[in-house]
Amino acid sequence: MIRTGTMRAAAVAALLLAVTTVDAAELRPLAIIDSQKIAEEYEAARDAQEQYQKFIRELEREVTTKEKALTALMEDIESKKLLLGEEALATKTQQFERQRAEYFQFRETIDQRAEAEYKTRIQPILDQVKTIVERLGKERNYGLILDSAAVSVLYVNPDFDLTNDVLQALVRGEK
């Protein structure tokens, strides 16, 4: 009985090895793309990134403006605290609290606005790159495609780099 089990295990192992050998011969193990290079060289990606960064800078300017106004109002209240009557001080303090609440509400919406802008400008390009990479992976029978910009790559054979193929497909408007 032990002998039969051993023979079965050996037969299964030989079968798996044969299947693996056949698949390995047909399947190319690995390819890479460099998303940083795509971002730098694909004009639509550069434009989208520039527009997104411009949007982020504008949000930062809005934050700075609101912070300065809030600080100025606080300093105004502090400097005139002793000169203002109770009613005037209460009015200024209420104004400050309203402005502070608006500021914090604004700060909460910034991430949502930035994410929405990212989805509008950047995500379609990422989706297009992903679609092209998936298509190339299937067409060329790759088992795995990595982004060398997101992974620490110490060496890659240039024959496995699909970046230029993806860039060309993007320029041709392929999906």
pLDDT in tens, 12-31: 333 333 333 335 457 778 89
Report if residue 76 sits inside a domain: yes
Q: What's the predicted TM-score (pTM) here?
A: 0.68
Domain containing 56 equals: 47-121
113 vs 14: CA distance, rounded Å: 58
104 vs 97: CA distance, rounded Å: 11
Buried b (16+ CB within 10 A) or exposed e, 132-147: bbeebbeeeebeebeb
20 vs 18: CA distance, rounded Å: 5
Q: How many domains does the chain have?
A: 1
26 vs 21: CA distance, rounded Å: 9
> What is the token pair recorded at 51?
């527009």
pLDDT in tens, 39-77: 999 999 999 999 999 999 999 999 999 999 999 999 988
pLDDT in tens, 4-13: 333 333 333 3
Report if residue 73 sits inside a domain: yes
Report if residue 97 sits inside a domain: yes
pLDDT in tens, 74-118: 998 888 888 888 898 899 899 999 999 999 999 989 989 999 999
pLDDT greater than 60 at residue 166: yes
Report if residue 99 sits inside a domain: yes
Report if residue 135 sits inside a domain: no
45 vs 67: CA distance, rounded Å: 33
Report if residue 38 sits inside a domain: no
Which residue from 64, 42, 59, 57 is spatially nearest to 122, judged by alpha carbons? Answer: 42
Find the helix or strand (DSSP H, E) in which 123 lies: helix 123-139
Q: What is the pLDDT of residue 6?
A: 32
Report if residue 75 sits inside a domain: yes
Which residue from 99, 119, 122, 111 is spatially nearest to 59, judged by alpha carbons? Answer: 111
Report if residue 158 sits inside a domain: no
